[in-house]
Structure 1
């Protein structure tokens, strides 16, 4: 498979799906610059700055995207900044990049694409969740009548035999 401009096949599939980044007015890379310590975002201009590098437009919903209360972009960038996040227990942990990598720009664009797709899908996901929650419930009696319940005894717990396990965590 050709290199596709340093992008994996997965990244190549994402690019056509997100028009916001396809039509970016500005993508100035920070390649080779000293490592930035923080991301900067200008919501009015929808510009995301990584040092002197700028990506635009980045919608506010993409910049602020969270999973379980954690901002995804901040978490990603935290391990790539001048003073990286994470514990430093070993001497090797103190060896960090001195310059911004072109691969990180590619990763960042991919992450922004993915977050943009997730934001685009939220209304559909919300509607589906509402449909499921407001739909009819299936009773235990109905499950029993259709042979789903009771579960066979062999599926109720994992085998605890010494030397091996036939269940979910079986060793070959």
Structure 2
């Protein structure tokens, strides 16, 4: 059963990487278009910049999820380095429980925020609502909780990033 969960987390991890990468490519394509229409055609398109901002929000939350899973997030390694295994494990449990609390907060209140603002239109994109723009908050919180559960199952709380687990999109 654990292996099935781990495979599902691998699939979610890869999907997050793919979506973030695809959105980055879209940003790279639309920003020059916006610059071209503004400075060459003297008729600025109104949509490239706000769309790039919306896509960057999604990229940020999905990238945070990926970085957490790959142990690339900001962490303090000084205290765990001086602790014995039982104390280190206890500290790991406490820190991960705080991660669960923080991300459940993001998930629950993010859903409420989306529901509250769901019918407010974004002026540049009347078809996209403000609630839809806030959707990365609960999605990021929910996905991070799933990866915290994975960390509880593996008991790897203070691991260094392993070269084979780091995504191929990073540089050395």
Q: What's the TM-score bracket when you normalise by the shorter of the two chains?
A: under 0.3
Bigger relative contact order, structure 1 or 2, given CA contacts below 8 A and separation 6+?
A: 2
Instruction: Specify which structure has the higher proportion of strand.
Output: 1
Instruction: Specify which structure has the higher proportion of helix.
Output: 2
TM-score (normalised: structure 2): 0.26
